[in-house]
Structure 1
Amino acid sequence: MSSPAESSSSVDHISHPLTKVTKVFKGHTDLVTSVAYFPDGRHIASGSWDKTIRIWNVKSAQQEGEALEHNSRVKSIAIAPGGGKIAARVACRLIVWDVVKRKRVQEVKMGGDSEQDAHALIVAFSPDSRRIATASSMSALIELWDAGTGSLVRELQQHPCTMIQL
């Protein structure tokens, strides 16, 4: 990690250790909604409302390759434990990308969420990369998908919140 003096960014550095900026990753043109490390620790991916996922070299803070483009805002991303795939949750779809080929390998139409009403869309790979879990802040449903076929494997109902009256 470079020191603030070595950083090539034009951002003023704040002296408080918790707010010190050491790298600036420039490329997105709208709100960044998610970020995830690749297993190698040398790369990260970021998803944005600019409808892209970008892959970055952590050391150089430079984007690597072309952005992965979508038709809707990227709400959430997850990187498979092996690092070869990225799952993206966008409005009504789950999209899985092959990182090396920069190609979509799965696209699953999901119900319920639209560009306007989907606040928090969550996506996560299972440790063996065979399943993808998705959830939304607008629903009490967790869905498990087969990462290879895009088939819905199982639906899990979230527990309802318990109200405490004083």
Structure 2
Amino acid sequence: MENEHVITILYPTTYNQSNDIVFQGHTDSVTSLSYNDQLEHVVSVSCDQTLRVWSLKTREQIGITSKHATQLNSVNIDSNGLNIISSGMDFRTCLFDYETLKLKFVLLNGGAVTDHSITKDGNCLVCVTDISCQMNLWDLRWRKKVFSIPDIHKNTPTCCLFTPNENCVVTTSTDGSTKCTDLRSLKTLLTLRDHRNAVSSAAIARDGKLLVTTSWDKAVHLYDIETGNYRREGPQILADGHTGSISSCDIDDNGIYLATGGHDKCVILWDTEKKEVKLCLKRHTDWINDVYMTKDGKWILTASKVDPIINTNVLGQTDKVMEYGSD
């Protein structure tokens, strides 16, 4: 599969490569992906300028659209299962009908969109842009920009996400900082500068007690938001996992299991309570662009620069460190 841009569904419960499911379609690097809540479909976007929908039941591509003029960087399915939202380097955020992939409308941002996030009800969207370093909040019901904050970071924002109560937005940046911005006052409530290089992504547990950040410095930082101990002692650092820059992370709803992917071609599942590696997957042949976990923590979906998106069943595989490679 080397040099093929494919989607692979992987079931490593038995660690048998014959259980892989391969979806071929993308012709360039896969940059972002998402599940629907019913685990029926996977949506992916790519540098090939396409958005594709895949069926987990039939193991086939069931939809494709190409309404962006350049590479796409971010994609989500809203929790209502009504819309798919994609953003790209062409400054545009597109909203598609989930069933038909018909383009409903386009939002124009002030720069290339590096990431976006939507609220649970699907009514609001936040996105961040390259170069201009803007953070824009949109009301999707009225197709209207609520506000725009310029220079949210000094350099390219890499990630944005709503806090669980949706009162704030957390952003990360290549300037090495992580910020939390209040959506009512538009003030920065928190700025973290503990990483030694660009901060690539962030994740927050559903209860809002744990904030996770990843970086090109190869480290994962855990911030206990509930106690605020990080203010005195700094974050807890998970450093004995990746050997290259970490590009993405996601956490399960319980805030226990954390998935990370990086330029070392590895996907690592961490136990955030024990602060240890529980699972290491080595199936990719190039760096990993995106990692996504299902809410129940049973599955990990990953997107690679060159070849697979891999959907991994991790249920029952957390008693000891497992390594799954191509051997």
Shorter chain as denominator, the TM-score bin is 0.7 to 0.9
**CA distance in structure 1 between the aligned counterparts of 2:130 and 2:52, rounded to whole angstroms:** 24
> 2:109 touches 2:136 (CA, 8 Å); kept in 1?
no
Q: Which residue of 2 aligns with 1:61?
A: 59
After the TM superposition, which segments of 4 or more aligned residues of structure 1 sit over 3 Å from their partners?
A: 15-21, 136-141, 155-164
Identity of aligned residues (%): 25
In structure 1, distance between residues paired with 2:16 and 2:193: 37
Alpha-carbon distance in structure 1 between the residues aligned to 2:57 and 2:99: 20
SS in 1 for 2:23: coil
2:81 aligned to which of 40, 61, 83: 83
Name the amino acid aligned to 2:136: E
- Cα RMSD after superposing both structures: 3.0
Deviations 1:76-124 (A, max 9, x none): 10111111111111111111111223211120111122xxxx6xx1111
User: Secondary structure, in 3 states, of the residue corresponding to 1:83?
Assistant: coil
* 1:37 aligned to which of 25, 31, 35: 35
Equivalence for 1:143: 136
Name stretches of at least 5 consecutive residues in structure 2 with no aligned partner: 1-7, 153-170, 172-178, 180-190, 196-327
Q: How far apart, in 2, do the equivalents of 1:78 and 1:102 lie? A: 13
Residue 92 of structure 2 corresponds to which residue in structure 1?
A: 93
How many residue pairs align between the two structures?
146
Q: TM-score, normalised by structure 1?
A: 0.74
Quote how far apart the aligned CAs of 1:155 are: 3.2
> Take 2:73 and 2:16, find their aligned partners in 1: how far apart are those partners?
25
Q: Which of the pair is proportionally richer in strand?
A: 2
Distance 1:133 1:90, change over 3 A: same
Establish whether residue 109 from structure 1 lines up as the match of residue 108 from structure 2. yes
Aligned to 2:44: 46
List gaps (5 residues or longer) in structure 1: 1-10
Q: SS state of the match for residue 22, structure 2?
A: coil
Segment of structure 1 superposing worse, 146-155 or 91-100: 146-155
Scaled by the length of structure 2, what TM-score is found? 0.40
